[in-house]
Amino acid sequence: MKGVKSVWFCSSCGAESPKWEGKCPACGEWNTMVEEKSRPSRKTRTISPSGSRAAASVPVPVSAIETSDEARIRMPSAELNRVLGGGLVAGSIILIGGEPGIGKSTLVLQNILSIKSRTILYVSGEESAKQIKMRADRIGRPSDNVFIVCETSLQSIMDHIEAIKPGLLVVDSIQTIASDELESVAGSVSQVRECASQLLKYAKETAVPVMLIGHITKEGSIAGPKVLEHIVDAVLQFEGDSQHFYRLLRAIKNRFGSTSELGIYEMCQRGLREVSNPSEMLLSHTDDDLSGVAVGVTVEGMRSFLIEVQALVSTAAYGTPQRTVNGFDYKRMNMLLAVLEKRVGFKLAAKDVFLNIAGGLKVSDPALDLAVVCAILSSNVDMPVPPRTCMAGEIGLSGEIRPVGRIEQRIREAEKLGMETILIPRHNLKGVDTSSLSIRIVEVAKVEEAFRALFA
Ligand code: TYD
Ligand code: MG
């Protein structure tokens, strides 16, 4: 076709290149460039220095900008409201990401079915209207102000918007819709970017909020480009493993609120139920008073969460003690065991040690060291770690507990999840405002101190 040319996009960061490259020139990732056909944009902008063209926008001093209270639409779900920072802001565009089957469509549908005050258009590119109706019947009362349309063409969607004039738009999912203007297939970097920017323009011009649903790849990033995260005002991640009944909703970006809020849901027969007391998730583990269990606070990427470390220490039956590790670095565990031998008199050669990170997670955060050590010690002395106690800290070779990053985020996460005591490295709290925290903070500098704090 005339005028169609190939461009290469990085599937990781969205950078554009006129030719294929093995390594993305922008983000340095290997093997991420994918080919897409694109037609040059018809609109070419010219800048005339003569001043003949009147500028459409006028710069104004920041003090002269009028502010109105951001009109927020309160969502029926309190958890969603909290994660959004108090409701959906008019004219904002938010992305709800998550793995397939995690319950994104359920979450959004359940919420919009309870909003009676405005017309809502739900565009689905994934399911038929019948399927959506069946789900709606299960999770709520079908209402007259929610309109469903199954459509994948951006232009047709815009026509529907024109006709219905919704007060809230939902697109499920952004990876299924495509603009006719582009040659590439739906879900490709350029399509996702184009559709999202058109919807952004629509949201900003009409002050109608737009909720996009997006899929997440196995690696945990939003499928398609990172650029999508830059376009939208807020990115909410819906997560939890599909076998498990709990779902966590957290903001990984939010222009209108904090990103440290966490919403918790439980998937039930009739849709999602809010879990207003999060510690109930952990109760089953912590109230049993089992030895060899310690709860660590870890940060992976943007996210922080509590994780249970289980250890079993027993007298070695054979000459060579056994070491088995699940979800933690084997060599690192051996190093920690050596530190324990030197510092706390742990008889390394005479013990079998089995270590397991609950939930089958793989953790690389060094701040989990302290929890690993405490779990091993707890099993060794056969005394449970006190209930509702968690810890974070990296352990050095001489048994010192070293400061870890984002300590405030960790403490807040622990507090949010119902923990009462947290062990943290000494001197890690510099510059952190602890006045608003109700959790008891115990500062420890050495492995021996942690041992005494827990089991003395
Ligand atoms: P869904 O919202 O379709 O996920 P997504 O849009 O993120 O792909 O939810 C899928 C799962 O939720 C599905 O496996 C069944 C489960 N589910 C329930 O357990 N109860 C319910 O009432 C509903 C609607 C779904
Ligand atoms: Mg869905």
Question: pLDDT per residue over 225-278, tens digit each?
Answer: 567 888 899 999 888 755 566 788 888 889 988 776 778 788 888 889 887 655
Lowest mean pLDDT among 39-43, 75-79, 161-165, 170-174: 39-43
pLDDT cut 70: percent of the chain above it: 86
Ligand 1: residue of 236, 239, 267 to mutate (most ligand atoms within 8 A of CB) is 267
Residue of 238, 208, 209 lying closest to 102 (CA atoms): 238
Three-point CA angle 100, 103, 106, nearest 5°: 130
Cα 81 from Cα 188, distance rounded (Å) = 31
Question: 95 has which bridge partners?
Answer: 212, 235
Beta bridge partners of 93: 210
Name the band, by pLDDT with cuts 50, 70 and 90, for residue 361.
Answer: low
- Between 182 and 355, the higher pLDDT residue: 355
pLDDT above 90 (res 146): yes
Q: Ligand 1: does its nearest atom lie under 6 Å from the Cβ of 101?
A: yes
pLDDT at 127 over 60: yes
pLDDT tens digits for range 278-297: 545 554 555 568 899 999 99
Percent of the chain residues topping a pLDDT of 90: 41
Higher pLDDT, 313 or 303: 313
Give the tens place of pLDDT for each residue, 24-57: 888 888 888 888 776 655 554 444 455 455 567 8
Report whether residue 345 contacts ligand 1, using a CB cutoff of 6 Å.
Answer: no
**Which DSSP helix (H) or strand (E) runs through 53?**
none
Q: Which two tokens stand for residue 165?
A: 């004039």
Is the Cα dihedral 377, 379, 383, 386 positive or negative? positive
Closest ligand to 99 CA? Answer: 1
Would you give the DSSP letter of residue 134? H
Ligand 1 center from residue 133 Cα (angstroms): 13
Residue with token string 């088995």: 324
How many CB atoms neighbour CB 20 within 10 A?
10
Stretch among 82-96, 109-123, 157-171, 179-193 having the lowest mean pLDDT: 179-193
Q: What whole-number distance in Å separates Cα of residue 124 and Cα of residue 134?
A: 14
Q: Beta-carbon neighbour count of residue 212 at 10 Å?
A: 28
Q: Is 30 exposed, middle or buried (0-12, 13-18, 19+ CB in 10 A)?
A: exposed
How many angstroms does the Cα of residue 225 sit away from the middle of ligand 1? 25
Closest atom of ligand 1 to CA, residue 98: 7
Q: Using the mean position of ligand 1's atoms as its centre, give its distance from the Cα of residue 101 in Å.
A: 6
Handedness of CA 413, 339, 428, 364 (dihedral sign): negative
Indicate the pTM of the whole model: 0.69
Give the closest residue to 377 by CA, choosing from 348, 332, 340, 349: 340
**Spatial CA neighbour of 109 closest among 138, 82, 87:** 138
3-state secondary structure of 367: helix
Determine the pLDDT at residue 46.
47
Q: What HEC string does 186-237 produce?
A: CCCHHHHHHHHHHHHHHHHHHCCCEEEEEEECCCCCECCCCHHHHHCCEEEE
pLDDT band at 151; cut points 50, 70, 90: very high
The CA 100 to ligand 2 mean position distance, Å, reads 7
Cα–Cα distance, 365 to 369 (Å, whole number): 8
Q: Is 215 in the pocket of ligand 1 (CB under 6 A)?
A: no
Q: E strands, 65-114, where? A: 72-73, 88-89, 93-98
